[in-house]
Amino acid sequence: MNVHSNKYKCNECGKCFNINHNLTVHRRSCKSSRDLATHRRSHSGEKPFECSVCSKRFTQAGHLVEHSRIHSGEKPYKCHMCDKAFSVSGNLNTHMRVHTGDKPYKCHVCDKAFSQSVHLNTHMRVHTGDKPYKCSLCNKSFSESSNLQSHKRRIHSNRRPYHCPYCGKLFVTEDKLKCHVRIHTGAKPYSCRHCSECFTRYKQLKTHLMKSHNEGTWFTCEICEKTFISPSDVRRHSIRHSAVKPYVCSECPKCFYTDSELKSHHLVHSEYKQFCCFLCDKSFKYKGNVVQHFKRCSAVHTFADN
């Protein structure tokens, strides 16, 4: 009896061989069979891999592994430029375009470029006028699903689940909370690749790139030829060419072009001070006031430390 028989084992299916070459040949066919099975599942809709936490199912084991990191909080893929971490390698690759400025997805109508394909798809609706996301409560249509969700929370609900740990202000979305927190922390995560300027918000960086480095596409108002960095800015601006101010203050006769202007105005009638300096805890009604104060306050603290 050959004591060495079946000593080479396939890790894919468990089949054993007494010659290593036979195992090598088998592995190729085994892998091909596995790939074929995965391909068939993509067409049949079969999802044999189930998450033990939330019962979500997947066609491939690798997808289940990536999904499981949502529950474990594991983020093994770390950006070496800003230390941001991701659970999926593809998300890290996409994120790196923030630092490199790479925009491989280009609009064939206006040549505007994007770092992600989903952003290009959304942008194309500017040219097509397509608004596929419709509010079930008021029938208003939107070009982006995120705008629809924000509309529902802002217009049809008073729920603001995200609160600032520094000043307690409540927000409709997590993204708005993240932007707000930077007022307290002073973080400026968006850096210009052409110079040393850094910015709190991506839109500020975009404006800087267009104004200082002539990078990007300007959008022009057809009435007054004023230029803007996005079509949405043009639409908001165009309202000002109308004599109608549809947003009326409930406390006084003042009217406004946009709901954001009305919200800002409401602070006149309120004692609520939503912006807080984290250096001295002084509070302010308006963002501009706390920004100006923070510059003075930080200079005083720097002088005191020295």
At which of 16, 44, 72 does a domain end?
Answer: 72
Q: Which domain holds residue 49?
A: 35-72
- The reply to whether 43 falls in a domain is yes
Query: What CA–CA distance (Å, rounded) separates 259 from 239?
Result: 12
Residue 263 lies in a domain: yes
d(CA 88, CA 83): 15
Q: Which of 72, 94, 124 is the last residue of a domain?
A: 72
What's the CATH number where 57 sits? 3.30.160.60
- For the record, the structure tokens of 133 come out as 């996301």
What is the value of pTM for the model shown? 0.38
d(CA 219, CA 112): 11
pLDDT of residue 275: 76
**Within a domain: residue 86?**
no
* pLDDT reported for residue 94: 86
Question: Does 50 fall in a domain?
Answer: yes
pLDDT at 197: 92
Cα–Cα distance between 77 and 80 in angstroms, integer? 10
Mean pLDDT, consecutive 10-residue stretches, the chain (306 aa), reads: 54 68 63 55 71 84 81 85 82 85 85 84 81 82 79 72 82 83 87 91 88 86 86 83 81 84 82 75 80 79 58
Is 204 within 8 Å of 187 (Cβ atoms)?
A: no
- How many domains does the chain contain in total? 2
For residue 55, tell me if it sits in a domain: yes
Asked whether residue 254 is domain-assigned, the answer is yes
Q: Residue 291: inside a domain, yes or no?
A: yes
Residue 4 is predicted with a pLDDT of 43
CA–centroid distance for 155 within its chain: 22
In a domain, 265, yes or no: yes
